[in-house]
Amino acid sequence: MADVTITDQNFDTEVLKADKPVLVDFWAPWCGPCQMQGPIVEEVAAAMDGKAVVGKMNVDENPNTAQKYGVMSIPTLMVFKGGTVVKQFIGVTSKEALLGELNKLIN
């Protein structure tokens, strides 16, 4: 399971103020490719084992943050560090690509 469910309300605390890299999966329940991405995100969360935060944000329930960050298609995955987007992936993204990016950011 992802480490945290991210919402418009907790985005600042869970993502922008986090002291670790954060991977955010912007998704929706009706999105077929998002259903394919979900298990990959879960594998990334397990592999990170607390070294980075992995969260999921349902864009239907939390449109403000998705709009603020220009999420136009889903799944979109963004990696944040120090409150800034450092990498963005659009479309289904491999476990290897996500882990590679997160591992570069771990101190």
Bridge partners of 30?
none
CA–CA gap between residue 57 and residue 5 (Å, rounded): 6
DSSP state, residue 70: T
Q: Which of 10, 20, 28, 31 is catalytic?
A: 31
Q: 53 catalytic, yes or no?
A: no
Q: 34 catalytic, yes or no?
A: yes
Edge-to-edge strand list for the sheet holding 76-81: 4-5, 53-58, 22-27, 76-81, 84-90
Element (H, E) at 90: strand 84-90
Q: Which of 34, 54, 98, 102 is catalytic?
A: 34
For residue 40, give the 3-state DSSP assignment. helix
- The residues assigned a catalytic role are 31, 34
